[in-house]
């Protein structure tokens, strides 16, 4: 019988009448009374169960606290139906799909933070962990998969090796991952249930949130646990493989009960979390930093009355545990590093100023230029209250004083850059304006010389190309071209050895004279070719184009 009228708790009373076959003297208890926060009968709808149990936990998870919801009960009493849901109707959706829908709906509404969500699905079968979201799961047997192993750090935090974290950006992706995991679960037909879960499954949603511009990150996780059902082997009569599974299931649930009992005792120093994999994974959820809700499922039937009583007793023990959930906030390490570096530099400067210990290293060129700019800005500012802030570094303070001294002594050179290399090189920095002008002119002259040398080299190359082209023409046309272009040089003078002109020099001269009008025509009569123009001329004046140009000139002259 159920009494819902008591506020705020509901009470469940189970009456077991004495069996007359046991004899007249029978001191067994006849009535058992348990109190719970809420009792649902078999007519309760899934949405009511979600609103009462899972919604408050999901809200805490969104606020940055850890949460756990787990279902415990005898095999065939409806744990998987409550947690995952039934497949027949959409309204039979369980706590996991409804929680995913609720969380993503809330995340879309809240635009003040940036959220990232990941999902993991762990199966514990015969005390071995397996990743239900492993991509190779469909193609191989369960035993061939890499096993999920438990690692523990120095702070006694549990880390699961080989368990994949899959990112889920929306509800559809998360549900697809849930369905993928559910199809990979170990189920078997038993005398108690047609499709009995033979493993414990833990579906975890990881949420991290961060406000734009803020250095703090909130991380929270929600464990949704579907435990395998306990069963009495003597009653069900299973054997072989099913018997092995039943032993492992009952053993892990026994260890879970041990942990619950130890947590409920006040003066207990050791909690046996490491006895089984499931209690290790749920370490935070049981007596740690977590908001935990437990659902106890009962199979109300005369045959199962003993199991129902033991389930109620277990859940009463769970209710005695007190968890302390704290907000999971941490600082973004990258922003923290920048802040700490700046703080260290400030403290170093202060310490040196107080202790009087000076740094011996010289200031870099960048720091000197920065100081020069600060001094110029300070001097050009007409505000009488303006200040020159160079920090607590004595090297910088000394440099500023020396710079100011130079400016006071040499006001005519105030607009020139003083102390460009080092403070000690004062005589180099005090050059007069005449010397500086001379230096500039020398540099300019050197630059022009370099440019002329480059152009001369280019012209020599062009001459050589022209010679190669001229050799291809016949001798008579070449001679007539030379005579027409330069009438002052006759053929006899060129061929006589006494005249100081060799035949080769004449050819060079003729080719250069012949090429000059072409160059001047291409560049608009200007000989000072820029880089781009010189490149264009070079492209046009390839070996073939020179031959064509010479032939055109010959035709025009004829």
Alpha-carbon torsion angle 387, 390, 394, 399, nearest 10: -90
pLDDT digits (tens, 9 = 90+) for 272-282: 888 888 888 88
Distance CA(180)–CA(168), nearest Å, equals 13
The residues, any chain, with a CB within 8 Å of residue 415's CB and separated by 6 or more, are none
Domain tally, the chain: 1
Q: Is the pLDDT of residue 207 over 90?
A: yes
The residues, any chain, with a CB within 8 Å of residue 519's CB and separated by 6 or more, are 462, 527, 537
> For position 479, what pLDDT does the model report?
44
Annotated ligand binding at 183? The verdict is: no
Can the peptide bond before residue 8 be classed as cis, meaning omega within 30 degrees of 0? yes
In the Cβ-directed half-sphere of 103, how many Cα atoms lie within 13 Å?
Answer: 36
pLDDT digits (tens, 9 = 90+) for 23-46: 666 677 788 888 888 898 888 899
> For position 422, what pLDDT does the model report?
44
- The rounded Cα 305 to chain-centroid distance in angstroms is 54
Strands 216-226 and 196-197, sheet pairing: unpaired
Phi, psi dihedral angles at 149 (to 5 degrees): -115, 155
- What is the percent of the chain where pLDDT is above 70? 77
The reply to whether 409 falls in a domain is no
The reply to whether 270 falls in a domain is yes
Annotated ligand binding at 64? The verdict is: no
Residue 73: band (very low, low, confident or very high) from pLDDT cuts 50, 70, 90: confident
Annotated ligand binding at 73? The verdict is: yes
pLDDT digits (tens, 9 = 90+) for 119-134: 999 988 888 888 888 8
Burial of 512 (0-12, 13-18, 19+ CB in 10 A): middle
Annotated ligand binding at 476? The verdict is: no
Distance CA(16)–CA(302), nearest Å, equals 9
Residue indicated by tokens 């704290």: 326
Distance CA(440)–CA(270), nearest Å, equals 85
Annotated ligand binding at 75? The verdict is: yes
> For position 516, what pLDDT does the model report?
46
Annotated ligand binding at 79? The verdict is: yes
User: What is the secondary structure of 419-457 as a DSSP string?
Assistant: SSS-TT-HHHHT--HHHHHHHHHHHHHHHHHHHHHHHHH
3-state DSSP helix/strand/coil % of the chain, to nearest 5: 50, 15, 35
Distance CA(79)–CA(184), nearest Å, equals 18
Distance CA(270)–CA(280), nearest Å, equals 14
The reply to whether 309 falls in a domain is yes
> For position 187, what pLDDT does the model report?
65
Phi, psi dihedral angles at 102 (to 5 degrees): -65, -45
The reply to whether 290 falls in a domain is yes
What's 76's DSSP letter?
A: T
Annotated ligand binding at 78? The verdict is: yes
Residues β-bridged to residue 295: 71
The reply to whether 261 falls in a domain is yes
CB atoms within 10 A of CB 441: 10
Distance CA(16)–CA(13), nearest Å, equals 10
CB atoms within 10 A of CB 149: 13
pLDDT digits (tens, 9 = 90+) for 277-297: 888 888 877 877 888 899 999
Instruction: For the chain, give the mean pLDDT.
Output: 78
pTM: 0.60
> For position 403, what pLDDT does the model report?
82
Contact status, residue 179 vs residue 119, Cβ threshold 8 Å:
no
CATH code: domain of residue 322: 3.40.850.10
Distance CA(349)–CA(337), nearest Å, equals 19
Residue indicated by tokens 């009374």: 33
Residues β-bridged to residue 119: 166, 205
Q: Which of 125-129, 139-143, 520-524 shows the highest mean pLDDT?
A: 125-129
- Domain span at residue 135 reads 32-331
Distance CA(516)–CA(541), nearest Å, equals 13
Q: What angle do CA 15, 19, 21 make, to 5 degrees?
A: 175
Q: Is the pLDDT of residue 489 over 70?
A: no
pLDDT digits (tens, 9 = 90+) for 447-488: 888 989 899 888 988 888 888 777 765 444 544 444 445 444
The reply to whether 97 falls in a domain is yes
Q: Which residue has the higher pLDDT, 439 or 506?
A: 439
527: left (phi over 0), alpha (psi -120 to 50) or beta: alpha
The reply to whether 185 falls in a domain is yes
Q: Which helix (H) or strand (E) holds 36?
A: strand 31-36
The reply to whether 524 falls in a domain is no
Annotated ligand binding at 239? The verdict is: no
H, E, C per residue of 323-383: CCCCCCEEECHHHHHHHHHHHHHHHHHHHHHHHCCCCCCCCCHHHHHHHHHHHHHHHHCCC
Lowest mean pLDDT among 184-193, 309-318, 343-352: 184-193
* Runs of H (alpha helix) within 13-150: 46-49, 55-62, 79-83, 95-109
CB atoms within 10 A of CB 236: 18
Distance CA(402)–CA(423), nearest Å, equals 8
Contact status, residue 208 vs residue 330, Cβ threshold 8 Å:
no
CB atoms within 10 A of CB 126: 16
H, E, C per residue of 192-218: CCCCEECCEEEEEEEEEEECCCCCEEE
* Runs of H (alpha helix) within 119-226: 171-183
């Amino acid at each position: 019988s159920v009494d819902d009228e008591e506020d705020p708790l509901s009470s469940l009373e189970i009456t077991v009448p004495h069996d007359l076959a046991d004899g007249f003297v029978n001191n067994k208890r006849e009535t058992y009374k348990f109190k719970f926060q809420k009792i649902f009968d078999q007519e309760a709808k899934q949405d009511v169960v979600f609103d009462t149990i899972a919604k408050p936990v999901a809200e805490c998870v969104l606020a940055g606290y850890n949460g756990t919801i787990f279902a415990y009960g005898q095999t065939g009493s409806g744990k998987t139906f409550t947690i995952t849901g039934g497949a027949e109707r959409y309204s039979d959706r369980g706590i996991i799909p409804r929680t995913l829908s609720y969380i993503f709906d809330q995340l879309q509404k809240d635009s003040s933070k940036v959220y990232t969500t990941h999902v993991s699905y762990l199966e514990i079968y015969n005390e071995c962990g397996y990743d239900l979201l492993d991509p190779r799961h469909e193609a191989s047997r369960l035993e061939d998969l890499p096993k999920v192993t438990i690692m523990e750090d120095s702070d006694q935090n549990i880390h699961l090796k080989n368990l994949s974290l899959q990112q889920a950006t929306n509800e559809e992706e998360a549900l697809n991952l849930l369905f993928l995991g559910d199809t990979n679960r170990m189920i078997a037909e038993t005398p108690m249930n047609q499709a009995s879960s033979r493993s414990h499954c833990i579906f975890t949603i990881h949420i991290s949130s961060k406000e734009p511009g803020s250095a703090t990150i909130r991380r929270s996780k929600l464990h949704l646990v579907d435990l395998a059902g306990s069963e009495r082997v003597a009653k069900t009569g299973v054997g072989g493989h099913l018997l092995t599974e039943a032993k492992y299931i009952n053993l892990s649930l026994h260890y879970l009960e041990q942990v619950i009992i130890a947590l409920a005792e006040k003066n207990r120093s050791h909690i046996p979390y490491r006895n089984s994999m499931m209690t290790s994974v749920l370490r935070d959820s049981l007596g740690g930093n977590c908001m935990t809700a437990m659902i106890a499922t009962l199979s109300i039937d005369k045959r199962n009355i003993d199991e129902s009583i033991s389930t109620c007793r277990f859940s009463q023990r769970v209710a005695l545990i007190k968890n302390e959930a704290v907000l999971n906030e941490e600082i973004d390490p990258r922003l923290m590093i920048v802040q700490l570096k700046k703080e260290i530099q400030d403290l170093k400067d202060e310490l040196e100023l107080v202790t009087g210990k000076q740094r011996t290293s010289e200031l870099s060129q960048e720091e000197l230029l920065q100081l020069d700019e600060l001094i110029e800005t300070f001097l050009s500012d007409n505000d009488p209250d303006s200040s020159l802030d160079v920090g607590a570094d004595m090297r910088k303070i000394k440099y500023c004083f020396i710079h100011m001294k130079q400016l006071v002594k040499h006001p005519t050179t105030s607009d020139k850059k003083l102390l460009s290399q080092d403070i000690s090189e004062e005589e180099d920095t005090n050059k007069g304006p005449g010397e500086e002008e001379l230096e500039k002119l020398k540099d300019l002259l050197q630059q022009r010389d370099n440019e002329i040398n480059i152009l001369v080299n280019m012209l020599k190359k062009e001459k050589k190309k022209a010679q190669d082209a001229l050799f291809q023409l016949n001798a008579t046309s070449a001679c007539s071209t030379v005579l027409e272009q330069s009438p002052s040089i006759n053929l006899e003078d060129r061929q006589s050895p006494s005249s100081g002109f060799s035949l080769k020099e004449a050819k060079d001269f003729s080719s250069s004279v012949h090429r000059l009008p072409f160059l001047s025509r291409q560049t608009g009569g200007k000989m000072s070719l820029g880089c781009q123009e010189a490149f264009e001329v070079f492209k046009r004046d390839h070996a073939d184009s020179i031959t064509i140009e010479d032939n055109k000139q010959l035709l025009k002259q004829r």
